């Protein structure tokens, strides 16, 4: 069977690639190995354009948010499921300095309709320095979103649950061959698995481990709150608390240290004696050396692409970055140099060159 695209990975980014290809009526197949500990599988789905630590708009933050907001609302309409909802995020200030910085931003026209102050009392919270509000905030229910994409693609026989093996990919006359099918282009959305992939393992992807707690509580507020970590309401009296960030811990297990860290942070704003931990999960985010996404075409193998390295911001960034990649492929529109993987082309090594040469085969 002949296809235009082979897409590898059905996490957040791969799902978004699939949805945009489907909307453009492209013929493609998606392969996913079903790893339960990807960052997509444990992501909470909070989306906003602010770097909370510094109280600044994140890089291209408003642009990313506006595009993603429209994208997910369209998916809501198509699915007839509330996969995406608007929220307000409460930022608990840790100091008068942070409070003053936030107040200053609320008087700046750039932050109009994005940041405000909370003037209402929030029960049970200790907030001696006050509370700020991120007005431009939403949540994607990630597991439901991934399930919706998976079921719709399975019905169309587009998705195949299978572990991708790079050694089975071959190239003949500028066409990719994989397990009996032929493809014009390949897009890799494999997250931290790219480190094991001879196509793109030269890219400086750093696995960043994040751990989350599921807790039951009758005192946590029914809003999203952030105090360096977040508390996210799920159902009545059930919350997700997270997240940790570790570049050092690469073990496939949850840790006592992460649990203690999260509860210690939470204890700064609320009494934790009545909070019961019911579950703990982990996942590995694909981050990059310069903290910018990795998007573009392989420097040697033409029509081989990647979208990766977004860390915890894939839900925010991926819809627009995928659109920009497809515009690069079809319209030759240049990629933003801050994300274009050609910035790392000098890191190509002999292993990558040997792999590129090995793709060619005779039929």
DSSP alpha helix (H) spans, the chain: 12-23, 39-42, 61-79, 96-106, 142-155, 256-267, 314-331, 350-358
- What SS3 class is residue 86? strand
CATH number for the domain formed by residue range(s) 206-288: 3.30.9.10
Specify the pLDDT at position 43: 85
- What confidence tens digit (pLDDT) does each residue in 175-224 have? 999 999 999 999 999 999 999 999 999 999 999 999 999 999 999 988 99
Q: Residue 47 and residue 169: Cα distance in Å, rounded?
A: 36
- What confidence tens digit (pLDDT) does each residue in 42-57 have? 788 999 999 998 899 9
Run means of pLDDT, 10 residues per run, the chain, 363 residues:
95 96 95 74 89 92 97 92 93 93 93 92 87 95 93 86 91 92 96 93 95 94 92 93 92 95 92 92 94 96 96 96 98 97 94 88 52
Specify the pLDDT at position 81: 86
Please, are residues 286 and 308 in contact by the beta-carbon 8 Å criterion?
Answer: yes
Q: Which residues pair with 91 in a beta bridge?
A: 132, 226
Provide the CATH topology of domain 2-42+144-202+290-358.
Answer: FAD/NAD(P)-binding domain (3.50.50)
Query: What are the domain boundaries of the chain?
Result: 2-42+144-202+290-358, 46-140, 206-288
Q: Residue 168 and residue 163: Cα distance in Å, rounded?
A: 11
Q: Residue 124 and residue 112: Cα distance in Å, rounded?
A: 29
Which residue is associated with the tokens 């751990």? 211
- Cα–Cα nearest to 310, from 162, 141, 194, 186: 194
- Cα–Cα nearest to 9, from 154, 159, 153, 136: 159
Please, are residues 129 and 95 in contact by the beta-carbon 8 Å criterion?
Answer: yes
């Amino acid at each position: 069977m002949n296809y235009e695209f082979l897409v590898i990975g059905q996490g957040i980014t791969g799902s978004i690639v699939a949805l945009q290809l489907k909307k453009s009526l492209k013929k493609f197949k998606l392969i996913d190995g079903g790893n339960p500990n990807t960052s997509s599988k444990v992501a909470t789905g909070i989306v906003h354009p602010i770097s909370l630590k510094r109280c600044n708009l994140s890089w291209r933050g408003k642009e990313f948010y506006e595009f993603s907001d429209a994208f997910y609302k369209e998916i809501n309409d198509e699915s007839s499921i509330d996969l995406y909802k608007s929220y307000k995020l409460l930022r608990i200030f840790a100091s008068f300095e942070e409070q003053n910085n936030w107040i200053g931003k609320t008087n700046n026209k750039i932050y109009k309709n994005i940041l405000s102050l909370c003037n209402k009392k929030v029960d049970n919270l200790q907030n001696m320095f006050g509370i700020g509000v991120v007005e431009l905030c939403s949540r994607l229910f990630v597991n439901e979103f991934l399930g919706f994409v998976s079921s719709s693609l399975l019905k169309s026989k587009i998705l195949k649950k299978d572990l991708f093996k790079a050694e089975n990919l071959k190239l003949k006359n500028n066409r990719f061959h994989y397990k009996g099918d032929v493809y014009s282009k390949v897009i890799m959305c494999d997250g931290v698995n790219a480190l094991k992939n001879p196509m793109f393992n030269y890219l400086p992807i750093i696995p960043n481990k994040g751990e989350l707690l599921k807790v039951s509580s009758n005192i946590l507020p029914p809003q999203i709150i952030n105090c360096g970590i977040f508390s996210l309401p799920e159902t009545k009296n059930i919350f997700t608390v997270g997240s940790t960030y570790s570049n050092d811990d690469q073990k496939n297990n949850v840790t006592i240290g992460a649990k203690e860290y999260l509860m210690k942070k939470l204890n700064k704003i609320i009494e934790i004696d009545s909070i019961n931990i019911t579950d703990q999960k982990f996942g590995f985010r694909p981050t990059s050396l310069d903290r910018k996404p990795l998007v573009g075409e392989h420097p040697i193998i033409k029509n081989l692409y990647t979208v990766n390295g977004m860390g915890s911001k894939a839900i925010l960034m991926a819809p627009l970055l995928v659109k920009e990649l497809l515009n690069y492929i079809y319209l030759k529109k240049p990629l933003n140099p801050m994300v274009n993987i050609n910035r790392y082309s000098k890191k190509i090594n002999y292993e990558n060159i040997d792999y590129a040469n090995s793709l060619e085969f005779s039929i």
